[in-house]
Amino acid sequence: MRRGVRLMIARFSVCALGPALLLTSISMSRADETITLTLGSGSTFRVSEPFKTVLIGNPDVVDVQTQDDRSVIVKPLKLGASNVVFLNRQSIAIGNIRVVVSAAQI
Could you read off the pLDDT of 19-38 as tens digits, one per residue? 444 443 444 456 678 889 99
- pTM (two decimals): 0.69
Confidence of residue 106 (pLDDT cuts 50, 70, 90): low
CATH number at 45 reads 2.60.40.1080
Mean pLDDT score, 30-50: 87
Examine the domain organization and report whether 81 and 39 are in the same domain. Answer: yes
CA distance 45 to 18: 30
Examine the domain organization and report whether 46 and 23 are in the same domain. Answer: no
Mean pLDDT score, 74-93: 94
Range of the domain at 97: 31-102
Confidence of residue 104 (pLDDT cuts 50, 70, 90): confident
What's the angle, vertex CA 102, arms to CA 96 and CA 104, rounded to 5? 135
